C-alpha cells in the first residue's frame, strides 16, 4: 500500500541508468475533483517539501508544511530523508555535489570524444524558451512541442556540465497546469545551487510565467512588456438550461457528492459541493503563489497581495518596486551576457539550444550509472480499455497496451525498480481497475513509485494506489474518488422534430440505455447498484 506523498524527485539523483517505456499520451484539463479514499486503501501519510533559492529546506514552503520538515533527517549520501512509520524515503530535495578530481577528469575525457550532436562550445549559455503547452512525454528532435522531462533533465545536466556557463530562460504565456509550472520552478531554484547564473526574460507575463520568472537570479522585460497579474480565478460552465430548451434531458447517476463530472450537463448553476471544492483549490494555489513569491523576492506576503490588488502593470513601476531586475530588450540582455562572459563584441554569444542540448546524454556527464536500470513508464491522458476506431495514436492511456508494458517490465530482470509517471484525469472504471491490478502485481516483485504530474484524478489516482509510494507536486490535482455514469433522454427532442423510433425488446432491463426512454425507478435502483459495486473497488 502507498506509504507517503512527496514532491516529485529527480530520478537522475539516484545515479541509476533509466529506461523509458512510452505509451501513448495526450493532455487533459479536467475540473479538480476530490472525495474520500476507496475502502480498499487505508489512509497514508502525507509529506510536502520544497526548496528555496538559498537552499534552505523550510524557507520556500507553505506554512502548513513547515512543521513536517522537522521529521526530515539526512541519509548516508548527505541528502535529507523523511520518516514514515519505520521506513525512510528521500525528501526529493536536490542535493548538488561538486565532482571530485577523478570524476571531473573522466567527464572531461568523455567530452573530448563525444559524437557531433553532443558537442557544445565551452562557456556556452543554454537557451530555453518556455511557451504554450508542455507535454509530459519525451519528444523527438523533430517535434516542436516542449517536453517537461527534457526541460527538467536539461537543467540538471547544465548544472554539472563544465561547458555550460549559465541559462537564458525565455518565458512566454504557458498553457500547462500548475503541477508542471511548480516542477519547472523548482528546477530553476535547484540549478542556482550550482553557482551558475540563470537569467529570465519575459515579454508577456501572467501568474504562471511570473511564478517561474521570479525564481531566476535576474528577470528582464522590454519596455512594452505586457504583465497581466490580475490574480487567480476558476470558472465552471453549465449546459443544463441549453439542453432543456432543445429537448435533451441528461440522466446522470453518481456515487460521491464531490464527483462533479456530470454537473456540466445536468445543472444550471454550481452545486455547493463543487463550489466548496473549487474554492479550496483556488485558495491553495493562491496562497502558495503569494507565499513563494514573497520568499523569493524577499518581500512581505501582504506587499505581494497588495501588488496584485493594486493592478500595477507599468513596467517602470515593476522595476522601481523590485518586481523585475531591469527593463531591457532581448538583444540588450544578450549584449549584457556577452560582456559578463568576456565575449568579444564582434563575436556572437556562444549558445546551445534546448533541443540540441536534449541530445546530450546524462551518462556522458556522469549523471547516470551503467549497471542497474529503472524503468520509467509514462501514462498521460484519459483512460480507456481498448483503442477506438477514430482515436489517435497519442489520445489516451489504452489499458491493453499499457498492461503489456507493465508485464514486460515485470518479467524482465534488468529493471530493478519502476517509476510510473501519471498525468491523467481518469476514465473508464474497468480499465483503471485492470491497470491497478497489474501495477499491484508489479509492486510485489519490484519497488514501484507513482509520480504525479499536473493531474492524477479519479482513475489516474486509482492507478497510483497500486504503487508502494507516491510522489507529487504541491500543486498536483489529485483525488476524485467516485463513479459516474449516464445517458441522454431524447424523447422531447424527437417529438419536436417529428422523429419516431419503435423498440421491440425482451428482458426486464433491455431498454435501460435507450435514448428515448426515461428509466423507471427499478432501472434507477439497478444502475445505482452497479455504481456502488464499482465504487467499492
Q: Which residues are catalytic?
A: 458
d(CA 377, CA 146): 19
Question: Closest Cα partner for 432 from 408, 456, 453, 407?
Answer: 456
Q: What residues have CB less than 8 Å from 312, skipping those under 6 apart? A: 318, 321
In 3-state terms, the chain is what percent helix, strand and coil (to 5)? 35, 20, 40
- Cα(267)–Cα(189) distance, integer angstroms: 44
Cα–Cα separations (whole angstroms), residue 186 to 9, 11, 204:
10, 14, 21
Q: Report CA 224 to chain centroid distance, whole Å.
A: 31
Residue 262: C-alpha distances to residues 252, 431, 462, 528 (Å) = 6, 20, 19, 15
498 grid coordinates: 417529428
**Cα torsion 256, 260, 263, 265: sign:** negative
Residues contacting 96, CB < 8 A, separation 6+: 159, 190, 193, 194
CB-CB contact of 414 with 444 (8 Å): no
Alpha helices per DSSP H over 321-398: 330-341, 354-357
123: left (phi over 0), alpha (psi -120 to 50) or beta: left
For cell 519547472, the residue is: 184
**What's the gap between Cα 186 and its chain centre?**
12
Strand, coil or helix: 38: coil
HSE-up (13 A, CA, CB side) for residue 493: 15
Return the number of other C-beta atoms located less than 10 Å from residue 219's C-beta: 24
The residues near 254 (Cβ < 8 Å, ≥ 6 apart) are 261, 262, 482, 483, 484, 485, 531
Residue 258: count other Cβ atoms within 10 Å of its Cβ. Answer: 19
Residues 6+ apart with CB under 8 A from 523: 509, 512
Helix, strand or coil for residue 410? helix
Residue 10 has a CB neighbour count (10 Å cut-off) of 21
Rounded Cα–Cα distance for residues 338 and 125 (Å): 10
Cα separation, 175 vs 197, whole angstroms: 26
Amino acid at each position: 500500500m502507498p506509504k507517503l506523498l512527496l514532491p516529485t524527485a529527480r530520478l537522475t539523483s539516484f545515479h541509476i541508468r533509466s529506461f523509458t517505456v512510452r505509451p501513448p499520451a495526450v493532455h487533459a484539463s479536467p475540473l479538480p475533483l476530490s472525495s474520500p479514499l476507496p475502502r480498499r486503501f487505508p489512509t497514508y501519510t502525507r509529506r510536502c517539501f520544497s526548496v528555496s533559492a538559498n537552499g534552505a529546506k523550510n524557507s520556500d514552503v507553505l506554512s502548513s508544511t513547515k512543521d513536517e520538515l522537522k521529521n526530515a533527517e539526512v541519509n548516508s549520501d548527505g541528502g535529507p530523508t523523511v520518516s514514515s512509520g519505520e521506513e525512510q524515503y528521500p525528501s526529493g530535495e536536490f542535493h548538488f555535489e561538486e565532482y571530485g578530481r577523478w570524476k571531473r577528469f573522466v567527464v572531461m575525457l568523455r567530452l573530448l570524444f563525444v559524437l557531433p550532436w553532443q558537442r557544445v562550445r565551452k562557456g556556452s549559455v543554454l537557451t530555453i524558451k518556455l511557451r504554450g503547452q508542455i507535454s509530459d512525454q519525451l519528444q523527438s528532435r523533430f517535434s516542436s512541442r516542449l517536453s517537461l522531462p527534457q526541460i527538467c533533465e536539461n537543467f540538471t545536466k547544465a548544472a554539472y556540465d563544465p561547458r555550460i556557463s549559465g541559462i537564458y530562460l525565455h518565458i512566454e504565456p504557458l498553457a500547462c497546469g500548475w503541477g508542471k509550472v511548480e516542477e519547472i520552478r523548482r528546477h530553476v531554484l535547484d540549478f542556482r545551487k550550482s553557482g551558475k547564473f540563470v537569467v529570465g526574460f519575459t515579454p508577456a507575463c501572467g501568474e504562471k510565467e511570473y511564478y517561474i520568472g521570479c525564481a531566476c537570479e535576474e528577470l528582464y522585460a522590454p519596455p512594452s512588456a505586457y504583465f497581466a497579474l490580475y490574480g487567480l480565478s476558476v470558472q465552471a460552465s453549465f449546459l443544463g438550461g441549453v439542453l432543456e430548451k432543445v429537448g435533451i434531458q441528461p440522466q446522470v447517476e453518481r456515487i460521491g457528492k464531490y464527483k462533479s463530472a456530470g454537473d456540466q450537463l445536468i445543472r444550471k448553476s454550481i452545486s455547493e459541493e463543487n463550489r466548496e471544492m473549487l474554492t479550496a483549490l483556488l485558495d491553495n494555489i493562491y496562497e502558495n503563489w503569494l507565499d513563494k513569491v514573497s520568499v523569493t523576492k524577499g518581500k512581505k506576503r501582504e506587499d505581494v497581495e497588495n501588488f496584485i490588488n493594486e493592478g500595477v502593470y507599468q513596467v517602470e513601476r515593476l522595476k522601481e518596486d523590485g518586481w523585475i531586475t531591469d527593463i531591457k530588450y532581448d538583444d540588450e540582455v544578450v549584449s549584457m551576457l556577452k560582456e559578463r562572459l568576456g565575449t568579444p563584441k564582434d563575436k556572437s554569444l556562444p549558445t546551445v539550444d534546448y533541443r540540441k542540448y536534449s541530445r546530450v546524454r546524462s551518462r556522458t556527464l556522469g549523471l547516470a550509472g551503467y549497471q542497474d536500470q529503472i524503468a520509467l513508464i509514462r501514462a498521460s491522458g484519459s483512460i480507456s480499455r481498448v483503442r477506438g476506431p477514430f482515436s489517435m495514436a497519442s489520445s489516451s492511456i489504452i489499458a491493453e497496451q499499457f498492461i503489456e508494458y507493465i508485464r514486460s517490465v515485470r518479467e524482465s530482470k534488468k529493471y530493478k525498480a519502476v517509476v510510473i509517471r501519471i498525468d491523467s484525469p481518469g476514465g473508464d472504471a474497468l480499465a483503471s481497475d485492470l491497470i491497478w491490478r497489474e501495477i499491484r502485481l508489479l509492486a510485489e516483485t519490484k519497488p514501484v513509485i507513482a509520480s504525479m504530474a499536473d493531474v492524477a484524478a479519479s482513475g489516474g489516482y486509482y492507478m497510483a494506489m497500486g504503487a508502494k509510494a507516491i510522489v507529487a507536486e504541491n500543486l498536483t490535482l489529485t483525488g476524485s474518488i467516485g463513479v459516474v455514469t449516464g445517458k441522454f433522454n431524447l424523447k422531447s427532442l424527437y417529438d419536436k422534430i417529428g422523429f419516431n423510433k419503435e423498440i421491440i425488446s425482451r428482458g426486464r432491463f433491455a431498454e435501460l440505455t435507450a435514448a428515448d426512454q426515461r428509466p423507471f425507478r427499478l432501472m434507477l435502483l439497478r444502475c445505482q447498484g452497479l455504481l456502488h459495486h464499482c465504487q467499492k473497488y
